[in-house]
Amino acid sequence: MDAAPKVNLLEPFVTDPRRAGRRRLLRNVFIAFFVSAALTLTAASGVGAPTETMAEFDLPGPLQLLSRVGRLVASAERPLQGEQDDRVNILLLGMGGWGHDGPLLTDTMIVLSVKPSTGQAALISVPRDLLVEIPGYGWRKVNHAHALPENEKAGTGSAVAAETIGKTLGMKIAYYVRVDFRGFVKLIDQLGGLTVTVDRSFTDAQYPAGNDEVQTVSFAKGTQKMNGETALIYARSRHGGNGEGSDFARSARQQKILLALKDQVLSADTLSNPKKVAAIFDVARSYVQTNVQAWELLRLADVAQKVNPGELTHLVIDDRAGGLLVPANVEGSYVLVPRGNDYKILAAAVNDIFAAQDAAGDAAPKTNGLAVAEPIRIDLQNGTKVAGLAARASNLLVERGYAVAAVGNAAKQNYERTVIYDLSGGRYPEALTALKQSLNAEVSVTLPGWIASADVPSGITLSAPATHGTNVDFLIILGTSSVATLP
């Protein structure tokens, strides 16, 4: 797997009843997070429009904040942009920020689309290599739709990205939210650091030090307290030894940092400390850009009450077999384009997304442990030097009712842990959990799969690895961790 998928820094859902309350609390924390950003913008500009920087404005005090929220309750009854057409669309953008390679490039682009009348909602993931026409800049990769205008005039990139992606998908995207990863670093410091367990020692002698120089960084196995900068280095290291040089290992470390951050944010120590709670608002004020006005955010929260997270519709626009896109080479650059170069198929898929959900109804396949009601297609690859390991796994899975579409060797044979890539968009959460336990595996899912999953994945990807050639639901690369589990 030479071309590892990009990762998205998100924390996983849980379904344990005791944890469900924590999930609701986390959702409320982030509602407050974005409310604070919107209120700051509203106070600063008078109309809630985005500014070039949000760091220069002070967040209103608690009494001012509560007063403003009170005055906005009545305003929340006004319709959102798109609500009259029964389709409210919000573009979510994630970027590294200054100090990172390609600081203004957006690696994460997701459209949240809500149908207020029914409470239906969809997540539409857009790959960074999709070729699009950017107003004023011609045909470029979609991750440049924010960077190019933002580089010319700060504060303009998100709107251009929303216009570009909306036009490409045949939909009106009225709202956007952009998050800068630097905010997480600052938040970690203001929360007093994170307690992280390093699974194995490693050294990276090529970690960027700025000015095109490198530095050597090392981490020792064991539990340790990390400040924001150390946590960032731990999460971003690309060239570590001892098995930590792969993008998958990097994504696993990023996931570990986010889980630790989530636990710290939701701890009694944080929620009972006004100073630390204020730090969350400070991060929103400084590192979140949005054109959502305060009253609109309150209205969104009201509309969201109808949405059932377990019934989200998912569309991952990608180039896997049967997907909407195909790879192409344009002027020497790798890009993704719609099949037949027909962009109308993207608009059709997006416009019909809720109709497909209605048609599916109760027809979605169910799973029960390893035994499945209908065959789930699996691409099985041996990532070890253990001869016959894939065949052994294939025999077991076929016995359990799976359809093994392909058996072969992975590009590399140095996998210590078996990795399951969920390419189904989260359609088979029970089977995924059972496979993980049966094969002693780690799991990497697409973002929609993460939303639907009841399990905690080891990584979250925005696209499938380009190592399978069949239209499958799971790609399993066997590591030595499965040797003892297979008959």
Examine the pLDDT at 404 and tell me if it is beyond 60: yes
Q: Which domain-ending residue is among 324, 357, 390?
A: 357
Q: For position 310, what pLDDT does the model report?
A: 58
Domain total of the chain: 2
Q: Percentage of the chain surpassing pLDDT 90?
A: 20
pLDDT at 251: 52
Residues 117 and 68 in one domain: yes
- Looking at residue 202, what DSSP letter applies? E
pLDDT band for position 256 (cuts 50, 70, 90): confident
The reply to whether 397 and 322 lie within a common domain is no
Say whether both 47 and 153 belong to one domain.
yes
For range 369-386, the mean pLDDT = 73
* Nearest alpha carbon to residue 408 among 470, 454, 451: 470
Instruction: Determine the pLDDT at residue 478.
Output: 93
Domain annotation covers residue 83: yes
Summary mean pLDDT of the chain = 73
pLDDT at 82: 92
Q: Which of 322, 357, 392 is the last residue of a domain?
A: 357
β-strand pairing of 377-382 with 474-478: parallel
Say how many Å lie between the first and final Cα of the chain, rounded. 27
pLDDT digits (tens, 9 = 90+) for 147-201: 999 999 999 999 999 999 999 999 999 999 887 777 777 888 888 999 999 989 9
Distances (CA, A) of 49 to 1, 10, 39, 163: 44, 27, 11, 16
Most confident among 47-56, 123-132, 378-387 (mean pLDDT): 378-387
Question: By the 8 A CB rule, do 145 and 165 touch?
Answer: yes
Other C-beta atoms lying within 10 Å of the C-beta of residue 363: 6
Are 375 and 350 part of one and the same domain?
A: no
Please answer whether residues 379 and 472 qualify as being in contact, where contact means their C-beta atoms are separated by less than 8 angstroms.
yes
Q: Is the pLDDT of residue 115 over 60?
A: yes
Q: Which span out of 88-92, 328-332, 461-465 was modeled with the highest average pLDDT?
A: 88-92
More confident call, 130 vs 428: 130
What pLDDT is attached to residue 303?
A: 79
Write out pLDDT tens, residues 19-74.
Answer: 344 334 434 444 444 433 333 333 333 333 333 333 333 333 443 443 444 444 44
> Cα 487 to the chain's mean position, in Å?
36
Choice among 25-34, 133-142, 156-165, 392-401 with the minimum mean pLDDT: 25-34
Give the global pTM: 0.51
3-class secondary structure, 175: strand
Q: What is the pLDDT of residue 447?
A: 42
Residue 119's domain spans which residues? 17-183+275-357
pLDDT in tens, 348-368: 888 888 875 554 444 444 433
Last residue of a domain, one of 357, 381, 397: 357
Residue 162 CB contacts under 8 Å (≥ 6 apart), including other chains = 91, 173, 174, 175, 176
